A and B are shown apart, each in its own frame.
Chain A
Amino acid sequence: MRIYVCVKQVPDTSGKVAVNPDGTLNRASMSTIINPDDMSAIDQALTLKGATGCQVIAVTMGPPPAEGMLRELLAMGVDDAVLISSREFGGSDTFATSQIIAAAISHLGIGKDDMIFCGRQAIDGDTAQVGPQIAEKLNIPQVTYATEIHKKDNVLVVKRMLEDGYMMIQVKTPCLITCVKEKNVSNSYMTVNGIMNCYSKPLTILDFETLKEEPLIDIDIIGLKGSPTNIFKSFTPPQKGTGVMFEGANRETIADLVSRLQKEHVI
């Protein structure tokens, strides 16, 4: 029984971010983190591993530095890691990305008992599309927004969040689940032993040469050229700009503020 967990290395957008003069993001200025929703998927996978002894394989599509992230996951208890990386894959939109990842997982093998976990969405793209699209291309059922996953014989029982409640959904394997956490904090840590061993655990690199014979890979539908959607323009929104600043908690400044609010008919 295997759980493939799709993860992505993303810039840490919660910290300081620098924007280039031409409006594009200065990626080099930002530290990278493991996408938070993907950590939920890892947490759920490692929990299931604890309960069933299954194999957990972290899969990522990205440039070579993504290996560092995979090693961290290996140090947390993930068994194997796969890096999908090739020039031909660069510039892919969600459709093309999901195509490539589906091809890679197909190449690695997806059996009756296997599952794919993904994070709901990545904090850089924020689309939440790649998970469901991988499921469609592999022709397996999906359950999204999962906060709890339990295995009962050959079915999974999943708690799927709605805005005002949840659904309990039963699904047979093989299937794909996208994960969220109610709180944004992961509870999986690396261990010191894990860190000492992570560079000797298996890490496979899949490039275009290795995958090109896969039926799902078609040079016309991968990479920038193959993506159905393209970026037409990107720009920084104009900042609202600093308004009026008041200092200190004292009656006079508060009275001043409230007067202005009154004048603007806010009160």
Chain B
Amino acid sequence: MTSIIDYVPGGTLLHLLNPVAKLALAAAIIVATFLADTYALLLGLLALTFALGAYAGVAGRLARLLKVLVPLAVVMLALQLVFVRSGDVIWGFVTTGGLTSGSKVCLRLLGVALPLVLVLMVTKLTDLANACVEVLHVPYRYAFTFTTALRFVPVFSQEMSAIMEAQTARGVEYDTRNPFRKLRLMLPLCVPLLVSSVGRTDAIALAAEQRGFYLRTRESSYKRYPLVARDWAVLACCVALVALGVVA
């Protein structure tokens, strides 16, 4: 069960940073991406994300994620081409204005999605939750809800594929080549998936309560997450990144 956003163990500086510093770094890259309006900066920020990924040894996984994101980006580009019509006409409905704004939207989409995924790849979910509770004073129940939801993405995708296998074996044509037909066939499966997930949620709530969930305070965590010099250095870089986005 290897999902794309699984934690990849490692000992690089990126792994060792305080989870909050990592989150800030991702947020800074994202903010800068939104602010940036030149190809140079947009591509530069993407390159930065990939460089960090390569340093932490997860570039391969990031690239795998591109396989999912690129088709999405292409759809975005097509929509932009249709709706944004300005400048010279290049071919058919394609205009220079549409092409520029479309390609930038594509780059922003990648630039927003990848840094967050990168953080999840180099941070254990529990650390992320505990650090957010300790440093950012996020209430633990929200942190727990968030990490549990993320943790169950692979569990549910496994459940979904088991359900699809069972339905295929009954004769439902999931092996059809028509993607729309496949989508239509998949809709009824939401019922079994929903039934099992509601049951699960209830069981998790019970299990957590039986292990003292309501007694937990900000000081409970065994591991401590202080911000040390390297974290402050990264936070300074974050400010610089955002500034760069504003200026450039």
A and B co-occur in one complex: no
